């Protein structure tokens, strides 16, 4: 079950995994995510599906080392199996022909963005993608994104690749240059927050895909709750995508810090056992 077919090291902390999961490969749509548990001791980790090959029965995931479980996930090799995997979860992205779509991806957020970019392109939109990261080696899936975009702008914090600057600088330039009908932003919460502020200024409908803390992923635990337009929503069943202009990002940022200390502790414990 859930055998790893292929891995690819994107950067020191980011790995692409192609996993055999035929049912999920068949059922998934852009925006969907899965929950996995690598072994008996692992955490349940939510990961958005970056792509699927229905014929081969595989899905593509991009994992980043942030805690013990994800660290161990990134160390898996082809042939290894993931103990548990369930999905597809969440609501699929609403993809339609709107005209021009601005797709902003930050860091590993580019992975879940990929199927959405593909979807919008196939639906007949003009798609402009902006990929942003701290530096060149953290820009991922550029070729794949290019395949489904009319234009790709690369932004790096240190200027080591593409243009120097934040994702918002690239986005604003596009907005000022041409009419943008819709925007999708996926990445770190801070990046989505500022992208949302920017597009709100120009009154462009914007979707953001949230990476909240989850336990079960099926609407049971409420760990992933987020305030959207004054209402409490559950990212796993009501999301993961929401109207970015309605999301209370400040609360989200605080909530994402919720288990940080515990994670750091667990991580250190893990590293000490590895020595």
221 annotated ligand binder? yes
User: How do strand 225-228 and strand 206-209 relate by DSSP bridges?
Assistant: unpaired
Q: Which residues pair with 42 in a beta bridge?
A: none
Q: Which of 78, 99, 159, 258 binds another protein (CB under 8 A)?
A: 258
Tokens of 178: 């041409």
Q: Which of 117, 91, 78 is nearest to 29 (CA)?
A: 91
223 binds another protein (CB under 8 A): yes
Q: Which is nearer to another protein, 129 or 199 (CB)?
A: 199
CB of 234 to another protein, least distance (A): 6
Which range in 83-91, 153-161, 192-200, 204-212 contacts another protein by CB under 8 A?
Answer: 83-91
CA angle 50, 136, 140 (to 5 degrees): 10
Q: Which is nearer to another protein, 98 or 213 (CB)?
A: 213
Binding mask 27-66 for another protein (x = CB under 8 A): x---------x---xxxx----------------------
CB of 213 to another protein, least distance (A): 9
Q: Is the dihedral of CA 248, 99, 240, 113 positive or negative?
A: negative
259 binds another protein (CB under 8 A): yes
**CA atoms of 96 and 120, how far apart (whole Å):** 7
Tokens of 160: 């080591």
Reported residue count of the chain is: 275
| Phi, psi for residue 108 in degrees, rounded to 5 | -70, -10
Q: Which of 109, 41, 31 is nearest to 71 (CA)?
A: 41
Q: Which is nearer to another protein, 87 or 107 (CB)?
A: 87
Tokens of 171: 């986005």
Q: Which is nearer to another protein, 154 or 215 (CB)?
A: 215
CB of 27 to another protein, least distance (A): 6
263 binds another protein (CB under 8 A): yes
Q: Which of 56, 123, 254, 271 binds another protein (CB under 8 A)?
A: 254
Q: How far is residue 83 CA from its own chain's centroid?
A: 22
Q: Which is nearer to another protein, 15 or 236 (CB)?
A: 236
**CA atoms of 81 and 63, how far apart (whole Å):** 15
**CA atoms of 211 and 230, how far apart (whole Å):** 19
Residues of span 140-159 touching another protein by CB under 8 A: none
104 annotated ligand binder? no
Residues at the binding site for FAD are: 62-64
Residues at the contact surface with another protein, assessed by CB under 8 A: 23-24, 27, 37, 41-44, 67-69, 72, 83-89, 215-216, 218-223, 225-227, 229-232, 234, 237, 251, 254-255, 257-259, 262-263, 265-266, 269-270
């Amino acid at each position: 079950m859930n055998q790893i077919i292929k891995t690819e090291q994107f950067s020191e902390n980011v790995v692409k995994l192609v996993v055999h999961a035929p049912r999920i490969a068949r059922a998934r749509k852009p925006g969907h995510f899965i929950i996995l548990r690598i072994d008996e001791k692992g955490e349940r980790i939510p990961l958005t599906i970056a792509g699927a090959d229905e014929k081969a029965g595989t899905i593509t995931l991009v994992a980043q080392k942030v805690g013990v479980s994800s660290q161990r996930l990134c160390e898996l090799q082809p042939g290894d199996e993931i103990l548990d995997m369930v999905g597809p979860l969440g609501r699929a992205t609403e993809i339609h022909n709107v005209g021009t779509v601005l797709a902003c991806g930050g860091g590993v957020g580019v992975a879940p963005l990929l199927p959405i970019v593909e979807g919008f392109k196939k639906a007949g939109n003009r798609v402009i993608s902006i990929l942003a990261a701290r530096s060149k080696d953290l820009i991922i899936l550029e070729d794949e994104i290019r395949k489904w975009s009319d234009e790709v702008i690369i932004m790096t914090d240190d200027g080591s690749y593409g243009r120097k600057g934040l994702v918002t600088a690239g986005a604003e330039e596009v907005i000022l240059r041409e009419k943008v009908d819709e925007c999708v932003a996926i990445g770190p919460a801070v990046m989505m927050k500022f992208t949302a502020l920017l597009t709100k200024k120009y009154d462009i409908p914007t979707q953001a895909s949230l990476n909240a803390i989850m336990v079960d992923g099926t609407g049971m635990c409420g760990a992933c709750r987020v305030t959207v337009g004054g209402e409490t929503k559950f990212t796993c069943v009501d999301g993961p995508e929401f109207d970015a202009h309605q999301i209370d990002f400040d609360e989200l940022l605080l909530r994402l810090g919720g288990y940080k200390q515990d994670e750091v502790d667990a991580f250190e414990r893990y590293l000490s056992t590895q020595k």
